[in-house]
Chain A
Amino acid sequence: MTFDLIAQVELRDRSGAGCVAENGFCPDWIADNYERYIDPFFEHVLLTVVPVGIGFAIAFTLALMAHRRQWLVGPITGVTGALYTIPSVAFFFLLQPLTGLGNTTAIVALTCYTLLIIFRNVITGLRSVPADAKDAARGMGLTDNQMLWRVELPLAVPELLAGLRIATTTTVGLAALAFLAGAGGLGAELDRLPSFKSNVVVAGGLSVLLAAILDLMILTVQRLVTPWQRASA
């Protein structure tokens, strides 16, 4: 059913000007049609930011739990690692009986893919805190919670944000497949005219651009919140 519709759109568009007929890279066509990418672009932003946000909340909580109970690190890494290995198409298919077609399915799956990366980076960050700083903190009378929030987490920030950057970039890419779960995004647009070069370049290019922008935003945040890293002589 969906495929028929796409085929029609394809045919109608191809019957346009010469560039389009030759399936070249057509700036004119792009200029005429850029509006069709605006909504999918913002859907794509949503399909990235929401899973990364939820994934961060879950993975961060899991990491804090595992930080106090180190024996949890293995099982949590195992489970999130297993989730990470499920092919996305299979994941969407498996979720369909539960969540149907649409954004929810895509967001659940994409969230699961962020867990391993963020969890492992938070754990690595917390483990990289110098032992002498922790010993001094304890010796000065910081409680476990004070130590966590005032010493360990601030020092884990670079590692934590590095994980967030990888998770975000990965999710932008994976969200291009969200149309398979019935969600929108740039992937759906790509899929409507998959063999038309101008469309592929614009939809694909916007996806890459989005990944770059989000990455840069997190990097900027990291610079702002870790002045001590640059100050080291």
Chain B
Amino acid sequence: MTENSSAAPTDGKGDRQAATLEFREATKRYDGQSEPAVDELSLEVPAGEICVLVGPSGCGKTTAMRLVNRMIDLTSGDILLDGRSVTERKPAELRREIGYAIQQIGLFPHLTIADNIATVPRLLGWDKQRISVRIDELLELVSLEPSETRDRYPGQLSGGQRQRVGVARALAVDPPLMLMDEPFGAIDPINRERLQNEFLRLQHDIRKTIVFVTHDIDEAIKMGDRIAILQKGGKLAQFATPAELLMYPNSKFVEDFVGADRALKRLALQRVRDIDLWKAATVRVGEPAAEARAKIADSDLPMALLVDDGGRPLGWLSDRALGGERVERQIRSPAEPAVELDDILRDALADLLTSETRYGPVVDGRGRVAGVLSLEVIGGFLHEAPVEARSGVELVEES
């Protein structure tokens, strides 16, 4: 977004608060079918969070999502939007308050992009000027140039552009809740990754409550604040944060579904700052050698890291550097790979695996040494229980 648009009165963040969503034993049963499509689903989605519904095909995830805006009506149980039952609402009115984006996008081919986005604002009777301003805002929000895009027809856009328009249209009236059914499913992997990242950045600003349906566990882990794994027959297998799901799958089904590489997936969720690093002995040129040796004894590595006056790493000291009375500038190996506290753990691991040393100094935002990351540190982390994940989320056990 440009400076100008962020200075505009509304910038997509809007004034409307995100809503809370609660499924209460929500059940959908179709006539003539022995198994329910959704079976007593109970879960709460806090305001402003992305809740991913994931599971194999036929698990009822899309049905569960469509129960929310009454595209499908509940057989029993209830769904509360901001504490109010959706069954009390007129379906058309309810739907206008809930953003709706689907895999096939469903843009209207006979309307321009501007008119597509204006659909719900017009239903709600917004005036022309307000709609026009909003269209430009939304197009900028999803990284499309308004002047180039407004008057085109969906058939003239690429798949990725259409997907963005679909998201913009769903956001048009700044809905407190968004339903997204495999919104990036029909996009090639490279563009999907880009759209996912863009959407996460967008969500960071707009903080909507979102129900996101996907069959792809990797997408679920990436996008979800919480993940509900459903299994055949519409049963909730587990509802937890991504990290917890990867650490503590509560059944064989969940374990299989998250995949054998779940330890590696967990690394993608954590940053270097989240784990206990090795303590490094940092010494400066001219420091008494005896002091340096004491630091080494106190550290987790049998050697010292030479740093400059600003605390930035210069390289690992050779033994000869400590041979005299004072530390000399004798470097055994460079301070590589350089890892930052904010790096994703998985990326840091990749750096370690491709370097010669299998350990590397970690620096903070100003470039100062904060510790040392090694393969052993990561290995230890993977065997630890993530305490914060265990206490932060209530486990929903399968009955």
Chain A interfacial positions (CB closer than 8 Å to B): 130-143, 146, 151, 154-155, 157, 226-228, 231-233
**Complex partner residue of B93 from A130, A131, A134, A141, CB under 8 angstroms:** A141
Kindly provide the distance from the CB of A140 to the nearest chain B CB, expressed in whole angstroms.
5
Q: List 9 A-B contacts (CB under 8 A).
A: A130-B104, A134-B106, A139-B95, A140-B96, A140-B169, A142-B123, A157-B110, A232-B156, A233-B156
Kindly provide the distance from the CB of B149 to the nearest chain A CB, expressed in whole angstroms.
13
Whole-angstrom distance between the alpha carbons of A82 and B11 in the complex?
61
Name the B residues within 8 Å of A227 (CB-CB). Answer: 153
Residue-wise, chain B 103-117 has the 8 Å CB interface mask toward A (1 for contact) of 011111111000000
**Complex partner residue of A138 from B71, B105, B179, CB under 8 angstroms:** B71
Name the B residues within 8 Å of A231 (CB-CB). Answer: 152-153, 155-156
Chain A interface secondary structure, helix, strand, loop or mixed? helix
Residue B102, interface by CB 8 Å = yes
Q: From A156, which residue of chain B is reached at the shortest CB distance?
A: B110
A-B Cβ contacts below 8 A, count: 80
Judge whether A132 and B120 touch: CB under 8 Å: no
Residue B69, interface by CB 8 Å = yes
Whole-angstrom distance between the alpha carbons of A232 and B92 in the complex?
31
Using A140-B95, A231-B152 as known contacts, say yes or no to A133 and B108 having CB atoms under 8 A apart: yes
Judge whether A232 and B93 touch: CB under 8 Å: no
Q: From B119, which residue of chain A is reached at the shortest CB distance?
A: A140
Kindly provide the distance from the CB of B313 to the nearest chain A CB, expressed in whole angstroms.
54
Kindly provide the distance from the CB of B311 to the nearest chain A CB, expressed in whole angstroms.
55
Residue B100, interface by CB 8 Å = yes
14 additional contacts, CB 8 Å, given A136-B108, A140-B169, A232-B109?
A: A131-B104, A132-B104, A136-B106, A139-B71, A139-B106, A141-B96, A141-B97, A142-B123, A157-B110, A226-B110, A227-B153, A228-B109, A231-B153, A233-B156
Whole-angstrom distance between the alpha carbons of A132 and B93 in the complex?
20
Residue B200, interface by CB 8 Å = no
**Complex partner residue of A136 from B92, B96, B107, B153, CB under 8 angstroms:** B107
Whole-angstrom distance between the alpha carbons of A137 and B100 in the complex?
9
Count of B interface residues, CB-CB < 8 Å: 29
Name the A residues within 8 Å of B108 (CB-CB). Answer: 133, 136-137, 151, 155
Kindly provide the distance from the CB of B12 to the nearest chain A CB, expressed in whole angstroms.
18
Judge whether B100 and A136 touch: CB under 8 Å: yes
Name the B residues within 8 Å of A142 (CB-CB). Answer: 92, 119, 123
Using A139-B95, A143-B92 as known contacts, say yes or no to A132 and B153 having CB atoms under 8 A apart: no
**Complex partner residue of A130 from B92, B106, B111, B119, CB under 8 angstroms:** B106
Judge whether B153 and A228 touch: CB under 8 Å: yes
Whole-angstrom distance between the alpha carbons of A154 and B112 in the complex?
13
Name the A residues within 8 Å of B156 (CB-CB). Answer: 231-233
Q: From A153, which residue of chain B is reached at the shortest CB distance?
A: B110
Name the B residues within 8 Å of A232 (CB-CB). Answer: 109, 153, 155-156
Whole-angstrom distance between the alpha carbons of A190 and B367 in the complex?
99
Q: From A157, which residue of chain B is reached at the shortest CB distance?
A: B110
Q: From A155, which residue of chain B is reached at the shortest CB distance?
A: B110
Name the B residues within 8 Å of A155 (CB-CB). Answer: 108-110
Name the B residues within 8 Å of A146 (CB-CB). Answer: 123
Name the A residues within 8 Å of B153 (CB-CB). Answer: 227-228, 231-232
Residue B47, interface by CB 8 Å = no
Name the A residues within 8 Å of B97 (CB-CB). Answer: 141
Using A132-B104, A133-B106 as known contacts, say yes or no to A139 and B69 having CB atoms under 8 A apart: yes
Name the B residues within 8 Å of A141 (CB-CB). Answer: 91-97, 120, 123
Q: From B123, which residue of chain A is reached at the shortest CB distance?
A: A141
